[in-house]
Amino acid sequence: MSAASLNPAQLEAVHHLAGPCLVLAGAGSGKTRVITHKIARLLQHGLEPRQIAAITFTNKAAAEMRERAKGLVGPRAAKDLAISTFHALGVRMLRADGERLGLKPSFSILDSDDVLGVLRDAGGATDNKQARHWQWTISLWKNQGLDADGAEAAARDDDERVAARIMRRYEERLAAYQAVDFDDLIVLPLKLLERDAEARAKWQAAFGHVLVDEYQDTNAVQYELMKALVGTDGPRHRSGRFTAVGDDDQSIYGWRGATIDNLKRLPRDYPSLRVIPLEQNYRSTGSILRAANAVIAHNPKLFEKKLWSELGDGEPVRVIDCDGEEHEAERAVTRIQALRGQQGARFADVAVLYRANHQARAFEQKLRAAQIPYKVSGGQSWFDRAEIKDLCAWLRLLVNQDDDPAFLRAATTPKRGIGHQTLAALGEYAGKWRISMFEAIFAPGLPGVLKGKGLDALQHFAREVNELEHRARHTAGAEDAKALLLEWLKTLGYEQHLRDGEDSPKLAEARWSNVLDFVDWIARRCGGQLTQEAGTFESEKLTVLDVAQTISIIISLAERGDEQDVVTLSTLHAAKGLEWPHVVLAGVNEGLLPFRGADEEMTAERLEEERRLMYVGITRAQRTLTVSTLKRRKRGRETVAGVPSRFVVEMKLDEAVVKEDPRERLRRLREELAARGAAASPAAGR
DNA sequence: CATACATGAATTTTT
DNA sequence: TTCATGTATG
């Protein structure tokens, strides 16, 4: 273990095994290193890998933590570590012991859509909006540990009283179906441990130490579950068996039930708690950290913590004031190009962060126009779905028959008599002659290496592709496009394929409905529409092939986005935990950041969470930070005057860092020149 | 009953 | 600008 590479605070956190431990990990302070080193330390101390539970919020975070641990403790130990999300841990507990709560081991887990259906049914409503509202309310109640009785007591108005009644019926139905929702995956294991001493003893013994990542994001029930797993404080208990790692300044999920009370209560519930702040930041320059500290200083403090860095001041934070969203996007593009030119930055070194998804739109457009590759993080998970990928493979193949990955997917889904052997022979032949697999099908030499059914199936497939390509080329308009696609799906037998592949008919149904949505989406794009791209207007019906082409481009952009050199566009929420050398914080305006809804009042808590969001944004930057504000902001149809966010003021920057748009400067100079010259032309451009 | 048009409203996201 | 919901019409 390279303990020497840990700073004193990190070392203390890693070595403190004698009691409960709260690590206040400031942004960029090496939190993951502490967790993985602590895992290694616990192993050294004699714990088995499976006795170490590390709990995260997302599967991605869990996978990353296991990966990081692997580097330190080796693959064997890493494999057995009980690293999982809260929910996955809940599933494990319920599958093992759910029967003690009257739950069949084969209980089913409802996803958000299922829940909506049950609620619509239970509430006798066809109204999705209403059902969604109930879903939200009920989920928040469950996250606070309330059951239907509790909810009834807690309901403050008629709306909530109705929701509480619906909740009772909802819970009854879930029980009848032997089904649980996502919230139950926390609530029920907690119930199990509270009610069943035997189960409690078993699970407390199962884990020698519990680490909780992103502790500030836990909700009331998750905290109770953690407590039930590690036991209460005191000399007679096996206490101090947990390490909570979090940062109160980065708590940005209050709106979905996370409560900072969990941080306040921790020292009270565990008097022997050791609180260890990690304040040395290894990520950002001094200028960036000063701005971050200055902003967060406006929030009331739970624990004292101030980030510092040895990296030097670096460049000052820039503030740029833009005319509107388009102008903002243009200036971001200029900035990206300048960073590439002057600092040798790669596209992947830059991120544009914003409060709300719709802000990505302008940036996408301008980046495309400037031929800058980008990815929108968290967006369009649609294309990740297996069934959508299947169809996209076909579309890509239509556009480019030499796309071998698309070929492989399309040729084998659904199964059509083209198997391993056939594909291996085809691939080898194609490789030898340096042609695509599709081309190889009709190569004169292929029958020499591949005969019989395999060859027939390939040729049949190729003919199908060609025919579809021909028809796609000549089919335009929404209705014809839809008809063509549906017919093609029928020929493919795709719906049947989904039914065969999925064990639950309900799941197959959902997938098929995704497919139909996708067809509609393509069809809409085929219909005549007015598009403005790079300054040109188009108003014509597109062919299916045209749209397939667009999709291919989107797909390849998205695919390359994973490992290739692309700019990141992301919401502030989705950016938490990530970092980039250069960050642009966009739309830092009153009303947007801090966000204020239509006629909502801004409570102190809300404002503080928005401020933490700003703090998260600032601390994503390693070397340079650009904050942009809007002079004009669109809200609905109207354009309203933009007021720079109070957070910009709170950064306490020098006025010198406010940058003027080079183009603006040029225009101003030109105007000055024109004013001086007698016969100046008033044409000021666009 | 289904489609078409108008009108109004617009966070953040994971399991 | 888009999306969803409501109303009006065929």
Q: What is the mean pLDDT of residues A458-467?
A: 91
CB hemisphere CA count around A661 (13 angstroms): 19
A126 CA vs B7 C1’ separation (Å):
22
Please enumerate in sequence order all residues whose Cβ is within 8 A of that of A397, keeping only pairs 6 or more positions apart, or say none: A403, A406, A407, A410, A438, A465
> Residue A684: what pLDDT?
40
Pick the more confident residue, A6 or A641: A6
Q: What is the mean pLDDT of residues A457-482?
A: 85
DSSP A302: S
Which range, of A66-80, A550-564, A613-627, averages the lowest pLDDT?
A550-564
**For residue A573, which nucleotide's C1' is closest to its Cα?**
B12
Q: Which residues pair with A350 in a beta bridge?
A: A582
pLDDT of residue A563: 65
Nearest nt to A637, CA vs C1'? C1
Asked if A231 and A204 touch (Cβ cutoff 8 Å), the reply is yes
Between these two residues, A544 and A14, which has the higher pLDDT value? Answer: A14
Reply yes or no on whether the pLDDT at A512 is more than 90: no
Rounded distance, CA A447 to CA A435, Å? Answer: 16
Mean predicted lDDT score pLDDT of chain A: 85
**Residue A179 CA to nucleotide B4 C1', Å?**
41
Q: Is the pLDDT reported for residue A38 higher than 80?
A: yes
Provide the 10 A C-beta neighbour count for residue A658: 16
Is the C-alpha dihedral spanning A382, A387, A390, A392 positive or negative?
Answer: negative
Residue A537's pLDDT band (boundaries 50, 70, 90)? very low
**Residue A358 DSSP one-character state:** G
Residues 6+ apart with CB under 8 A from A173: A118, A121, A122
Q: How far apart are CA A310 and CA A70, in angstroms?
A: 29
Q: Which residue is nearest to nucleotide B15 (CA to C1')?
A: A182
Let me know if A158 is exposed, middle or buried by CB neighbors in 10 A (0-12, 13-18, 19+): exposed
Catalytic site residues of A?
31-32, 213-214, 250, 620
Whether A685 shows a pLDDT value over 60: the answer reads no
Residue in A557, A632, A651, A525 with CA at minimum distance from that of residue A587: A632
Whether the predicted pLDDT of A226 surpasses 90: yes
Are the beta carbons of A186 and A86 closer than 8 angstroms? yes
Name the one residue in this structure whose structure tokens are 């199962």. Answer: A206
Average of per-residue pLDDT across A86-106: 93
Q: How many CA atoms lie within 13 A of A373 on its CB side?
A: 18
What does the pLDDT read at residue A519?
A: 79
Tokens of A151: 């909810």
Task: List, in sequence order, every beta strand (DSSP E) within A482-614.
Answer: 529-533, 536-540, 567-571, 580-585
Average pLDDT over residues A425-430: 88
> How many Å apart are CA A258 and CA A341, to the nearest integer?
43
At A530, list the tokens.
């007015």
Closest CA to B11 C1' — which residue?
Answer: A356
What pLDDT digit, counting tens, does each position of A274-316 carry? 999 999 999 999 999 999 999 999 999 888 888 999 999 999 9
Pick A531 or A623 by higher pLDDT: A623
Distance in Å from B12's C1' to A39's CA comes to 32
Strand B protein footprint, C-beta under 7 A: A 57-60, 85, 87-88, 111-112, 182-183, 185, 255-256, 355-358, 378, 571, 573-574, 595, 597-598, 600, 635-637
- The three-state secondary structure class of A73 is helix
Nucleotide with C1' nearest the A635 CA:
B10
Quickly give A129 CA vs C5 C1' distance in Å.
Answer: 10
Distance CA A360, CA A352 (A): 9
pTM of the model: 0.81
Instruction: Give the nucleotide with minimal C1' distance to the Cα of A600.
Output: B11
- Return the pLDDT at A88: 95
Query: Percentage of chain A with pLDDT > 70?
Result: 88
A349: Cα separation from own chain's centroid: 19
CB of A28 within 8 A of CB of A283? yes
Q: Is residue A248's pLDDT more than 80? A: yes
Q: Please report which residue ranges of A282-322 form alpha helices under DSSP H.
A: 286-296
Q: Where are the beta strands (DSSP E) in A231-295?
A: 242-246, 274-278, 280-281
Q: What interhelical angle do A220-230 and A86-97 show, nearest 10? A: 60
Quick check: helix, strand or coil at residue A632? strand
Which of A594, A606, A602 minimizes the C-alpha distance to A260? A606
Give the whole-angstrom CA distance, residue A93 versus residue A547: 47
Q: For B10, which residue's CA is nearest its C1'?
A: A636
Averaged pLDDT, A47-67:
93
Which H, E and C letters describe A396-454, residue by residue? Answer: HHHHCCCCHHHHHHHHHCCCCCCCHHHHHHHHHHHHHHCCCHHHHHCCCCHHHHCCHHH
Short-list A52, A14, A60, CA closest to A576 = A60
Class of residue A287 by CB neighbours under 10 A (exposed 0-12, middle 13-18, buried 19+) = buried
Give residue A610's pLDDT band: very low, low, confident or very high (50, 70, 90).
very high
What mean pLDDT do residues A438-452 have? 84
A519-523, A568-572, A582-586: lowest mean pLDDT where?
Answer: A519-523
pLDDT band at A324 (very low <50, low <70, confident <90, very high): confident
Question: Distance of alpha carbon A432 from its chain centroid, rounded?
Answer: 42
Pick out the nucleotide with least CA–C1' distance to A636. Answer: B10
**Counting runs of H as helices and runs of E as strands, what totals does chain A give?**
30, 21
pLDDT tens track for A123-171: 776 677 888 888 999 999 999 999 999 999 988 888 888 889 999 999 9
Nearest nucleotide to A532, CA against C1' atoms: C1
pLDDT of residue A63: 92
CA–C1' span, A358 to C2, in Å?
A: 10
Positions of strand B less than 7 angstroms from a protein CB: 9-15
Is the CA virtual torsion A672, A677, A682, A686 positive or negative? negative
CB-based contact A512:A495 (threshold 8 Å): yes
- Protein residues in reach of strand C (CB < 7 A): A 127-129, 532, 636-637
The nucleotide closest to A253 (CA, C1' atoms): B12
pLDDT, position A602: 83
Beta strands in A133-264 (DSSP E): 179-180, 209-212, 242-246
- Residues A355, A591: contact at Cβ < 8 Å? no
> Long-range contacts: A164-169, Cβ < 8 Å, 24+?
A166/A119, A166/A122, A166/A123, A166/A134, A166/A138, A167/A134, A167/A138, A167/A141, A169/A122, A169/A123
pLDDT computed for residue A419 by the predictor: 83
Q: Residue A99, Cβ neighbours under 10 Å: how many?
A: 12
Q: How far is the CA of A215 from the C1' of B15 (A)?
A: 16
User: How far, in Å, is the CA of A476 from the C1' of nucleotide B4?
Assistant: 21
Measured between alpha carbons, how far is A679 from A686 in angstroms, rounded to an integer? 20
Q: What is the largest CA-CA distance in chain A?
A: 94
Question: Which two structure tokens, joined as six digits, stand for A318?
Answer: 């820039």
Report the percentage of chain A scoring pLDDT > 90.
49
Q: How far is the CA of A252 from the C1' of C2 (A)?
A: 27
Q: Between these two residues, A592 and A156, which has the higher pLDDT value?
A: A592
pLDDT at A423: 87
CA distance A43 to A36: 11
Retrieve residue A192's tokens. 């199990």
Checking if the pLDDT of A530 tops 60, the result is no
**Which pLDDT tens digit goes with each residue over A181-191?**
999 999 999 99
**Residue type at A267 in one-letter notation:** P
pLDDT one-digit tens code per residue, A2-34:
455 899 999 999 999 888 999 999 999 999 999
Q: Nucleotide B14: nearest residue by CA–C1'?
A: A58
Please tell me the predicted confidence (pLDDT) of residue A533.
41
Query: Rounded to whole angstroms, how far apart are CA atoms A596 and A360?
Result: 19
Mean pLDDT of A578-601: 89
How far, in Å, is the CA of A173 from the C1' of nucleotide B12? 31
Tokens of A545: 């092939």
Using the CA of A130, which nucleotide's C1' is the nearest one?
A: C5
Q: Is pLDDT at A247 greater than 90 in this prediction?
A: yes
Å from the A636 CA to the B8 C1': 9
A188 pairs with which residues across the strands? none
What's the rounded mean pLDDT across residues A555-580? 81
Q: Mention every residue, 6+ apart, whose C-beta is less than 8 A from residue A676.
A: none
Task: Kindly give the pairing relationship between strand A567-571 and strand A280-281.
Answer: unpaired
Q: Per-residue pLDDT for A528 more than 70?
A: no
Q: Nucleotides of chain C within 7 Å of a protein C-beta? A: 1, 4-6
